Structure 1
Amino acid sequence: MKRTDLNFMQRIGLEVLWGCAYVFSVMPRWFKYHVVENLLYVVLYRCVRYRMSVVKTNLRNSFPEKSEEELAEIRRRFYRTLAEIFVDTLDLAHLTPDKGRAALTVKGLEEHRQKVEGRDWIAMTAHYGCWEYCSFWGLYVASQIVVAVYHPLRSKVMEALYQRLRNGDYATTVSMKESLRFYLRNRDKGIRGKNLVMGLIADQNPPRRPDSHWFRFLNQDTIFFDGGEKLALRCHLPVYFVKLDRVARGRYEMSFEPIYDGREEVAEHEITERYVRLLEAEIRRRPELWMWSHRRWKHKRNVSR
């Protein structure tokens, strides 16, 4: 969204929010992560109890084998993660290459660089940890730009703010609705001469449509969008699952797990199935890092009798 798409009052609101985010981002790290984050945690978990009923239901249905004490501990740590993600996201307002590389290190950097150098590829990730950091791949490999595929926000002001936070020399954004056309239009020349990394947050709750499919995920029938698979098969693009591991406050390590090499013959929904299984394993390993406040199971599968 361009700034000119906003009316006068919306533009003022955008600049006020951007100014606040920028001032926050240049504050000392100790203040952001030891004062603001702790305050946000108390507000979200103790005061507002943000979507607490949704979080409780999602955790209980996903982990029926866990005790109430175990679920309560995961819930507490999730709200700590949520508070930290707010801080991480606002911190993007003043992002330098050094700051980005300090926030995200890449495990097996040279090995993965050699695999994808000079070609386009698909990075499938999730609302797990600070997923915004996945775009920092473009800080490590200057010949590639991450295209973050996303659902636009309803608020025009917040949409414009997020566009500013997410766009830069290393990354750009495109709506899910436009993603296929965007790639087909830019795949030959790239963007500013750079190869495209199509970044898909593929764990969102999609509407019921022909290109979505049901999978067994976290003990529940769950609908997933097959868009990443369809793009990979149509354009012969390799697909990698992006793992994010939190190592400290505001610090993550990224690694890659191959899903599809761009040439393999696969059954329908197989690429998405592999993604679902890898994501489930990561969530079970560190459940507090996933976004449990999403209404992920809003759609229920119709079972014919």
Structure 2
Amino acid sequence: MQLLAYILVYPFLWFISILPFRLLYAVSDGLYMLLYHILGYRKKVVTSNLNLVFPDKSEKEIKTIRKKFYKHLCDMFLEMAKTMSISETSLKKRFKLKNPEEFKRLEALNKSILLMYGHYASWEWSLELQNHVSYKGFGVYKKLANKHFDKLVRDIRSKFKTTLISTKESIGIINHNETKGIKSIIAFLSDQSPKPKKDVYWSDFMGINVPCFTGAERLAKKLDFTIAYLKVTKVKRGFYEAEIMPLAETPNDYKDYQLTDMFLREVEKQIHAAPEYYFWTHKRWKHKKALN
């Protein structure tokens, strides 16, 4: 069944990927009409999330943000497909790093770099960052259930010299590289919602007490990695800018969970500035509990 699903879906993804951007976004407009106005894809989840974190906004304001979000969501879905065939030249034009000199400065510290970022704007096209570093790039991700699609995603990333490593294999690979003296830059999407186990860390995110992943911080402290935040903003349709914002060059100088909280504050700033570009279909607050 996995292979059948791949065979049926792959031609559609490839067709989308070879469309000129003008037609790609025309398809996105049609997809928006389908998902938002006809199917109402996860509209209840999105509305609930927005009402939860923006209790002071009116129904009209929430609706405006929701519509803008769905338009961005459709763009992002198709931009992901476009990655299959996009050229390096085109990607450089559409995803620009504002301060490449910061990467050079951090590399000069001769320590691996742990890059934290959230589900905001475009995380998929951040693979372009590999063009600005000499370190080997790794992206930590959750392995897809369908092994054929999983291989496709890995192959797309490797085309741009970035290697995807699953959460289960990440620690082993990272430790191996450090033992061999191989410096790397490791990207973590760190704003997901972990299961609320007994020892999980809870923190305030957008005014709601939620469980938080702390793996990036713990890894940085264990191996003395430089830790930074990748701030991605959407300039206009199909164009993004990124900025490297160092959080700590000596992570063990910080208290436990302080770096995780610093990361969350940066994500919050972006959400407040332009909430339509956050990934509201994700059930980030499903394990919320009341703040004391």
Same fold (TM over 0.5): yes
Percent sequence identity over aligned pairs: 29
Check conservation: 1:221, 1:301, Cα contact below 8 A.
Answer: yes
Q: Which residue is 2:187 aligned to?
A: 199
Task: Kindly indicate whether residue 29 of structure 2 is the aligned counterpart of residue 38 of structure 1.
Answer: yes
In 2, Cα distance between equivalents of 1:67 and 1:105: 35
Alignment coverage as a number of residue pairs = 291
Give SS of 2:45's match: helix
Q: Which residue is 1:26 aligned to?
A: 18
Q: CA deviation at 1:252?
A: 0.3
Check conservation: 1:244, 1:253, Cα contact below 8 A.
Answer: yes
Check conservation: 1:135, 1:171, Cα contact below 8 A.
Answer: yes
In 1, Cα distance between equivalents of 2:276 and 2:74: 12
Q: Structure 2 counterpart of 1:300, which letter?
A: K
Q: Structure 1 counterpart of 2:94, which letter?
A: A
**Equivalent residues in 2 for 1:1-305, closer than 5 Å:** 10-11=2-3, 13-33=5-25, 35-117=26-108, 119-141=111-133, 143-189=134-180, 195-209=183-197, 212-262=200-250, 264-301=252-289
Check conservation: 2:229, 2:244, Cα contact below 8 A.
Answer: yes
* 1:78-127: CA deviation from partner (whole Å, max 9, x where unpaired): 00110011111001101322122112001111233232255420110111
What are the ranges of 5 or more consecutive residues in structure 2 without an aligned counterpart? none
In 1, Cα distance between equivalents of 2:251 and 2:190: 21
Give SS of 1:167's match: helix
Q: Structure 1 counterpart of 2:123, which letter?
A: W
The worse-fitting range, judged by mean Cα deviation, of 162-171 and 176-185 is 162-171
Check conservation: 1:144, 1:170, Cα contact below 8 A.
Answer: no
- Sort the Cα spacing of 1:210 and 1:275 in 2 relative to 1 into closer, same or farther, 3 A: farther
- Sort the Cα spacing of 1:84 and 1:303 in 2 relative to 1 into closer, same or farther, 3 A: closer
* 1:181-238: CA deviation from partner (whole Å, max 9, x where unpaired): 1200123447xx7x42110000111123466311111121111111000010001001
Check conservation: 2:111, 2:226, Cα contact below 8 A.
Answer: no
- Sort the Cα spacing of 1:28 and 1:263 in 2 relative to 1 into closer, same or farther, 3 A: closer
- Sort the Cα spacing of 1:211 and 1:237 in 2 relative to 1 into closer, same or farther, 3 A: farther
Check conservation: 2:209, 2:291, Cα contact below 8 A.
Answer: no
Q: Structure 1 counterpart of 2:35, which letter?
A: L
Give SS of 1:184's match: helix
- Sort the Cα spacing of 1:229 and 1:54 in 2 relative to 1 into closer, same or farther, 3 A: same
